[in-house]
Amino acid sequence: MVVGDFPIETDTIVVGAGPGGYVAAIRAAQLGQKVTIVEKGNLGGVCLNVGCIPSKALLNVSHRYDHAQHGEELGVKAENVTLDFGKVQDFKGSVVNKLTGGVEALLKGNKVEIVKGEAYFVDGNSLRVMDETSAQTYNFKNAIVATGSRPIEIPNFKFGGRVLDSTGALNLQEVPKKLVVVGGGYIGSELGTAYANFGTEVTILEGAKEILGGFEKQMVAPVKKKMKAKGMTIETEALAKSAEETENGVKVTYEVKGEEKTIEADYVLVTVGRRPNTDELGLSEAGVKLTDRGLVEVDKQGRSSVNSIFAIGDIVPGLPLAHKASYEAKVAAEAIAGQNAEVDYIGMPAVCFTEPELAQVGYTEAQAKEEGIAYKASKFPYQANGRALSLNDTDGFVKLITLKEDDTLIGAQVVGTSASDVISELGLAIEAGMNAEDIALTVHAHPTLGEMSMEAAEKAIGLPIHTM
């Protein structure tokens, strides 16, 4: 701290400007708070800079490249389809820049003071912000901590060189010939698929019995089928043991059912999970209680064990997803403004942008069973939907979980093309407490993928038109 540093007073200070932090700052400012946001890296956090957005830009271009080469079945034959990966990276960068520039404009437009630097809590009402040359103390009435998470490093796979974390994989300057992905969760599966579309030979090593463990087996099946069709190799129950750099690449040693194997590749991408950024923030010193996994313990408003400090996003329990961070952000800002807001996660969707996409909201069958809920599951296949047929993308289904007693919708799972969009309506229906009849009676434009939700709802009430 600079000697003679006079503390700056603010109402609400937000630490971290990802989808949690910047949304919290804007909402708090809208509700009349004097707000300061502190960010040590780039505005937009992981999601906009090295997460959701750049990964979806890469995936989108990879689909274009893949489709351009494989249209024969539909009568489209293209010769000499080429890939300029430098341009792909430029495109990705331009999307990121547009969005992060937009965040800055929104923060300024809402009169949020943006401070560059690293925040460190001194106590429950003050923190210090340090950059390379100076330090400044801020006194606050309330703080919202949204410092996000970082990739977990595993023994013998030190990040750097040929061992990539997700950021390294997003920023490759050439398409690798061979890529090993350690961890078949959503990040590894999405990035693996993108590179497979660009022509990389991809091997996924997954420690568990299945990849994409957060989704039901029957949902994951079409994804695995498609991965295999792309030439991707999936090794499950595979324990990654070490990565050793070779002259031109990396040798990965792993073990499957007691048998040791090796595989050589240009790079190995390690995506085995993320760790909350709560260890270098002074939170414990300020009295904030953390779980044994380093997550901040919070109540339904996001308030930690210290009354004036709130926490949201990847540093609190629950799914580490951008929209969850933004949702919690609004609740915390509203709670600080004295409103009666509380989180309710029943309508929280989870999406994975593999091929086909996976999306779910509310209860799965397994969860309903576990809680002893009397439910009905009603499925409608993509194969029977006109839009899906015209898109030549017919793998997948829409499944509704409804209560037996009154057909109230309590959950939905979608696997198939554009599942990420199909799920939105079903989340809304759950939030609104709708039943299958409400969805069945809603006129859906034809031909759309959304019609499958209506058809599955008709099935739930025993009146299906396009299935038996």
Ligand X SMILES: Cc1cc2nc3c(=O)[nH]c(=O)nc-3n(C[C@H](O)[C@H](O)[C@H](O)COP(=O)(O)OP(=O)(O)OC[C@H]3O[C@@H](n4cnc5c(N)ncnc54)[C@H](O)[C@@H]3O)c2cc1C
CA nearest neighbour of 381 among 444, 449, 430: 449
3-state SS, residue 321: coil
In angstroms, what CA-CA distances link 62 with 55, 84, 171, 208, 354? 10, 12, 14, 27, 12
- Binding residues for ligand X, rule: CB under 6 A, are 15-21, 38-41, 45-47, 51-52, 55, 118-119, 146-149, 166, 187, 277, 281, 313-314, 320-323, 325, 353
Provide the b/e sequence for 197-214 (b: ≥16 CB within 10 Å). Answer: bbbbbbbbbbbeebbbee
- Measured from the CB of residue 116, what is the shortest distance to ligand X in angstroms? 9
Backbone angles phi, psi at 36, to 5 degrees: -120, 135
CB closer to ligand X, 55 vs 453: 55
- Measured from the CB of residue 183, what is the shortest distance to ligand X in angstroms? 12
In angstroms, what CA-CA distances link 188 with 62, 268, 276, 364? 15, 11, 19, 23
Contact yes or no for 388/415 (Cβ under 8 A): no
CB closer to ligand X, 46 vs 361: 46
- Residue 59: left if φ>0, alpha if ψ -120 to 50, beta else—which one? alpha
3-state SS, residue 167: helix
Provide the b/e sequence for 144-160 (b: ≥16 CB within 10 Å). Answer: bbbbbbbbeebeebeee
In DSSP terms, which residues pair with 160 in a beta bridge? 163
- Alpha helices by DSSP H, 122-235: 166-170, 186-197, 217-229
- Measured from the CB of residue 117, what is the shortest distance to ligand X in angstroms? 7
- Alpha helices by DSSP H, 316-405: 322-336, 365-370, 386-390
- Measured from the CB of residue 422, what is the shortest distance to ligand X in angstroms? 16
For residue 69, give both structure tokens.
Answer: 């080469």
CB closer to ligand X, 381 vs 416: 416
- Measured from the CB of residue 118, what is the shortest distance to ligand X in angstroms? 4
Q: Name the catalytic one among 63, 70, 444, 446.
A: 446
- Measured from the CB of residue 455, what is the shortest distance to ligand X in angstroms? 27
Tell me how far apart the alpha carbons of residues 59 and 12 are, in angstroms, rounded to a whole number. 38
Please identify the residue of the shown chain whose CB is closest to the bound ligand X. 148
CB closer to ligand X, 190 vs 458: 190
For residue 373, give both structure tokens.
Answer: 């809920």
CB closer to ligand X, 47 vs 368: 47
- Measured from the CB of residue 221, what is the shortest distance to ligand X in angstroms? 22
CA nearest neighbour of 171 among 205, 201, 152, 194: 194
CB closer to ligand X, 280 vs 406: 280
CA nearest neighbour of 88 among 161, 170, 164, 168: 170
- Measured from the CB of residue 83, what is the shortest distance to ligand X in angstroms? 21
Tell me how far apart the alpha carbons of residues 354 and 140 are, in angstroms, rounded to a whole number. 43
Say how many C-beta atoms besides its own lie within 10 A of residue 330's C-beta: 22
In DSSP terms, which residues pair with 254 in a beta bridge? 240, 261
CB closer to ligand X, 38 vs 232: 38
CB closer to ligand X, 122 vs 461: 122
Active site residue 446: yes
Q: Which residues are catalytic?
A: 446
